[in-house]
Structure 1
Amino acid sequence: MSATTEVGPHERPAVDETNEEYMLERVPQKARRSWWSQFVIWVGFGYVPTGLIVGGQLAGSADGGGMPFGDAMLTVVIGQGVLLLLTFALGFAAMKTGLNLSLISRFSYGTRGMILPMIIMGLLTLGWFASIVGMVGDIFNAAFGSFTGITIFNGLSLEFVIFSLIWGAIFTWSAWKGIVALERISAPAAPFVLIVAIIAAIMMTSEFGGFGNVLAEGATRSGTSIGTGVTLIIGAWIAGVIMGVDIFRFAKTAAHVFIGAGACFILTNPLLNIVGYTGSIATGDANFISWMVTKGIVFAILGVILWVVALWTTNMSELYCNALYIGPAINAMGAKVSRTKIVIIVGAIGSVLGAFGFYSFFFADFITVLGAAFVPLAGPILADFFVVRRREYTTANVDELPKVRWPGIVSFLVGAVLGIVFQYWVPLPGDFPAGLGALIITFAVHILLSKLMAARPEQQLIESVDAGMR
């Protein structure tokens, strides 16, 4: 058992390092973290390139697409607002129960039924981890070039492979250390990342002749509807919303959940969207790091450090959460593997995938398909917790729940299929986000099926008292 002393708002409660980060049990009150912990983790978690890319997509280009600045800001407010509400709803459930995503899923899916959504989440986070490893490899490859001139395969240089493997190992080590490492790396990185992003945006705007010129150029952009823009914003971040359950189980109060969610969807992500929009208008590139690299060695080095640190905080979270999906899923099948072993194994696989081009060759299709299919898995959780059986979540022993609860399984499968149909074949009216539309339908279907199947044995309320809540 190790403990740290709490002081003021930066307090750090005792954490039992023998419990595998509470992979298979509730997080007790004594191990809950401070509001500052939630804030810095979510600022770091929220800083990913997609925020800049989406901002650039809202800006479009001189050749077509995009929207005026005012429409873009309205789009950001709506999109980030939806993400904020969803994150808070799931985070509140996690805070009240102290359960990670896999354990809270047992109530709506069953102790065996939750294996299906956890496998999807495991694949999704592995794909993200491998992709971010590749992003870091690209950064170093672009900054320093190829010294050896050796190409491994499909245009990937030896240096890219080596840098990717090294940083994959660093990310894996950080995730192995657990929630404390997420805090300690995110805390100093978060303000640094945000300050540099703001300064870069100001400098790019100044170079373009001032904010008035940005507005004037933005007024010429058209072709992207607000509905499409909201779809882009939600689609880029809905995965993080669901992963937030694993972070918010350490929160003490609803206010701490809102602080964490706000750090990401009121502060970090909107800022990145705005910087991406401004950068795209001013320089033609939404990624301000690319602009920094062209401004001399000092800015280039600062840009590389900034990007790596920002991606570091995000990729730790991806791998940390991955173990919390894979571990309980394996446990549900009758086996047991420690969290640390899962982190090391998945980290090694993800590092190799990243080093050999997963990001360049497979990322877009992989994430699009899984993104459309997996978003509805939150529907049964939200419907179950807030509507169907809320009392059970704080009184039942998570190991005494039924093996399968069919309303959760069926509603998720319906939502997953509809998510893909809406994404690829039958777009929803008004460019409504496919995943969000499927999530809403899943929510309603779960409630309906729960009422229709209320008499079934596995649907009965479990009244046992979970020792973890005492």
Structure 2
Amino acid sequence: MTLVLLGFTFFSATMWGGATIGVAFPFWPDLALVILLGSAILAFYVAGLGYVGFRSGLSTVLSARFAFGDAGSRWPDILLGLTQVGWYAWGTATITIVLARLLDLDPGWKAPLMLVFGFVFCLTAYIGYRGIAALSWISVPAMLLLIAASASVALRDAGSAADLLPPGTVEALTVAEALTIVVGTFVSGGTQVANWTRFSGSARTAVGSTFLAFFFGNGLMVAVGAFGAAVYGLSDIVEVLAVQGLLSAGILMLFLNIWTTQDNTIYNFSVAGCHFFRTERRRLVTFAGAAAGTALALLGMYNWLIPYMTLLGTFIPPLGGVIMADFFVRHRGRYPAPGEEAVPRFNLQGIAAYAVGSLAALLVPGIPPVNGIVAAFLAYACLVRLPAHINRSNRSRETRQMGQVSGGSFRAQR
């Protein structure tokens, strides 16, 4: 479980995010504190959702059916599914650009290479969890070697300089914006961590492996990208590797690193897509998501990374806040078995709480991801404790037993 999740969080896009904040703050103590705090926020958030997955045995989108309703849960499907396609597009474009730069290829090669990589990266996800786990055993140690090599070269080069670059070398960021980037690197994938922790053998495994991957793994990637950028003044990690003389040696490791994240990413999409369409044809949905991601890569997704991560860090954390509040407050740590409780078509309490969390992330001063999680959790907790007759009235008006197809899909996915 730990290797699978580390393979997921060892992603070069995280190094890009780190590089962006690395040129905006002094490395010590400002940048170090931003990385530690942002990684801690992400890790605690994801660990809570990982525990929900272990205890319930449900994927994230099935938990969302309780929190948002049978039809209402399609909104999380859309949001989580589309964000995963966006990450898939970015990873496909990244490895193509790196390879083209390394081999000095003609620009005309980029589109065919994107098509090839877009297909190859989804093969292990097509197999399923076992295929993802097998690849992680190879890629995680390889990526650790690349990280160690890049960090050691950066430390050597930094030692010959008077100091690391001052803040604002490339662009100025506020602390809140920087924290949003750190959290946004993996808040979408982290929100879907139950897709894996539902297979955990114990709560310790579910929570411990999740926290290790999203605090240590994700934080390490951010730190390496940030430190390299602070030393060299470059916000593009490919350029940093080229300056360090590691581009040729690192190309295979970078390929494996991106592949392990790509297969996890498209697996997440397939889970959300199957739930949205109420189908069990996961492999077909996997290929459809890979095709959509490849199309986005061809359209230039590579250049949209930082705005994309900022958007994720604002609108996705409230989803997790609602799901955790629904599990821990409303259902007291245990979802009802199929047939025990009718699932409403729309859970207005969950939808309203998500709206409150999103507005808090957008408008309330502070750290947007934290604002969104806390506001959504508290709003839902308050709404479910409204006078009993109000809740009964809402349920009697909106609740219906799920139809044969919907219920069958629900039981099959459980």
The verdict on a shared fold, with TM-score over 0.5 as the criterion, is: yes
Alignment partner, residue 386 of structure 1:
328
State the AA in 2 paired with 1:145: D
Alignment partner, residue 166 of structure 1:
116
Give the direction of change, closer, same or farther, for the CA distance of 1:389–1:456 in structure 2 (3 Å limit): farther
Alignment partner, residue 59 of structure 1:
22
> In structure 1, what is the Cα distance between the partners aligned to 2:266 and 2:393?
38
Q: Do 1:87 and 1:241's aligned partners in 2 also have CA atoms closer than 8 Å?
A: yes
Aligned: 1:374 with 2:324:
no
State the AA in 2 paired with 1:456: S
Cα shift readout 1:117-154 (whole Å, capped 9, x = no counterpart): 1111111111111121111111112112234xxxxxxx
Secondary structure of 2:196's aligned partner: helix
Aligned: 1:44 with 2:7:
yes
Alignment of 1:62-461 (within 5 A): 65-147=24-106, 157-209=107-159, 213=161, 216-217=163-164, 220-221=166-167, 226-285=175-234, 289-294=238-243, 299-331=246-278, 336=279, 338-360=281-303, 362=304, 364-366=306-308, 368-369=310-311, 371-390=313-332, 392-393=334-335, 395-397=337-339, 400-419=342-361, 422=362, 426=363, 428-429=364-365, 432-452=366-386, 453-456=390-393, 458=395
RMSD: 2.9
In structure 2, runs of 5+ residues without a counterpart are 402-409
Query: Which segment drifts farther, 275-284 or 438-447?
Result: 275-284
> In structure 2, what is the Cα distance between the partners aligned to 1:74 and 1:133?
31
TM norm structure 2: 0.87
Higher relative contact order (CA 8 A, sep 6+): 2
Secondary structure of 1:401's aligned partner: coil
Secondary structure of 2:185's aligned partner: helix
Q: Cα offset for 1:176?
A: 0.8
Identity of aligned residues (%): 21
In structure 1, runs of 5+ residues without a counterpart are 1-37, 148-156
Cα shift readout 1:161-214 (whole Å, capped 9, x = no counterpart): 11111010001222111111110111111011012211221122213336xx57
State the AA in 2 paired with 1:454: N
Give the direction of change, closer, same or farther, for the CA distance of 1:78–1:440 in structure 2 (3 Å limit): same
> In structure 1, what is the Cα distance between the partners aligned to 2:219 and 2:269?
26
Q: Do 2:46 and 2:211's aligned partners in 1 also have CA atoms closer than 8 Å?
A: no
Cα shift readout 1:93-125 (whole Å, capped 9, x = no counterpart): 000111001111111112222111111111111
Cα shift readout 1:350-404 (whole Å, capped 9, x = no counterpart): 22221342333x5555554454223311122111111121254154559942322
Q: Do 1:106 and 1:398's aligned partners in 2 also have CA atoms closer than 8 Å?
A: no
Query: Which segment drifts farther, 286-295 or 228-237?
Result: 286-295
> In structure 2, what is the Cα distance between the partners aligned to 1:273 and 1:374?
20
Give the direction of change, closer, same or farther, for the CA distance of 1:187–1:364 in structure 2 (3 Å limit): same
> In structure 2, what is the Cα distance between the partners aligned to 1:373 and 1:271?
24
> In structure 1, what is the Cα distance between the partners aligned to 2:225 and 2:58?
36
Give the direction of change, closer, same or farther, for the CA distance of 1:200–1:367 in structure 2 (3 Å limit): closer
TM norm structure 1: 0.77
State the AA in 2 paired with 1:402: P
Cα shift readout 1:409-428 (whole Å, capped 9, x = no counterpart): 22123333444xx2xxx4x3
Secondary structure of 1:217's aligned partner: coil
Cα shift readout 1:267-303 (whole Å, capped 9, x = no counterpart): 222222222232123222355543433466xx43322
Q: Do 2:357 and 2:372's aligned partners in 1 also have CA atoms closer than 8 Å?
A: yes
Q: Do 1:289 and 1:307's aligned partners in 2 also have CA atoms closer than 8 Å?
A: no
Secondary structure of 1:454's aligned partner: helix
> In structure 1, what is the Cα distance between the partners aligned to 2:125 and 2:143?
20
Give the direction of change, closer, same or farther, for the CA distance of 1:287–1:323 in structure 2 (3 Å limit): same
Aligned pair count? 397
